Structure 1
């Protein structure tokens, strides 16, 4: 019986494990892959305090060393479900069942993929899903932004401070973003639009992206659009399937919490990119992890039964 089981060893989960174990709690950290989560897919991180730049895998290992320094145990596992038994919780993986007095869910989310040839092979070499993370690497370059919602248009505007040209490629003939965001994009001289179009293939050489094959969905015509990078914003998908049966997610699957990272079930907390929130960054994940690690300690203190007469 652990004091707390942390599901997910991204920056949020590892920070929570650090804070909880520093409070002398017994901590189990369960991760389905290498510690670090999406940081491992980031070549260079330039917006994490304390470093001018640091490789994603390097920061992952530094965080992992800190997370396990005070006794937190790490185990590999793919979590299937979390069961609430009131005074304790069960975390069920493919081959084991773990018990804890509390659970912190830090499973994160994944970017919805286009699913076209070249997307996987050029990830990190011109294909990106985060303008804040990677925009500065494309100074004076031509970029394509795929999507037409709030995120796509906002990130296209953000990218114009680096790129020479940003082209928004959208499968419809009108944007879905809020009007005020659309107005900013239409007023930006660096932004152009390609309507009724989808990316069919991402092309490049051995090193980087050089262009994309684009199809007009109304005419069926295709052409190659030269570019130096693609930023894809066709949606995010929370990795919240193991906790959906608990009723702590919204209709889209995002986990709902208060500002202390507490869900509606006592003893179950949620942090990181799987939460319903606006900014998904390493810094926000770390902050939430610290809050949750401390809140778990407070929760367990409140659960202690003091014998009568003491």
Structure 2
């Protein structure tokens, strides 16, 4: 059985079902209880689970630090940071404590904590509300980093993240929250962490992308005269290299797309892995279509910053013509 849901509704369904399934799950964050979150992703949960959904002060470090303690003592906290641009205020708790708890305690403690946050551009937000810092979290050993691109994947990946024994940073693309609906399975629905999804199959060129870029890349693939394979890693770390490498070995060409800045972004890591493991299969250098090495602009220049169908299509054409 499946219902047609938007991404924000899939988030709410996953949280509600896990709260009902497992009494150790707690949900908390800024405005998540009474107001249901800034995007209403948690709307109604406090009425359904009044003792396990809480509002928190505007103190990101405290929100994450509390979760580390709750997780170490047997609970499964799900903390919401209102926008990912403000997760930096909690980065020391994420990097120094949540991510290291298992190794620091030599396995005596786990940190089954999920840190949810809206992320990415495209909604005309204010400063610090549109950042894409997934590469920074992927560079933190001990963390898993997840970015969904569809409502069904959102529910499945979030459910798997909540059940995982280690901390997960779960980044929800804000401009996809209400962008479209698709069937989302009711009840127990999981998507394994660390497994990529082949969105479209093709033989001429591989496009690797995630989050909001998947829709842009799919549109770009339809606009070019080529057979394009589109791969969505879904989990930035651990990264499913083999699915990407198998695709590149087949097509011989690759374009990697993300809205984060270009320098030291995840595209650079993916290119490095392709060069390590599939260099002799390449017919052309791997193209990168990314954001720019500048602070995320305010809304008047947002469209010029974000990769779109046209820029991605141009990248595909460059890879095909090289």
Q: What is the TM-score of this pair, normalised by structure 2?
A: 0.28
| Greater percentage in helix | 2
Larger radius of gyration: 1
| Greater percentage in strand | 1
Q: What is the TM-score of this pair, normalised by structure 1?
A: 0.28
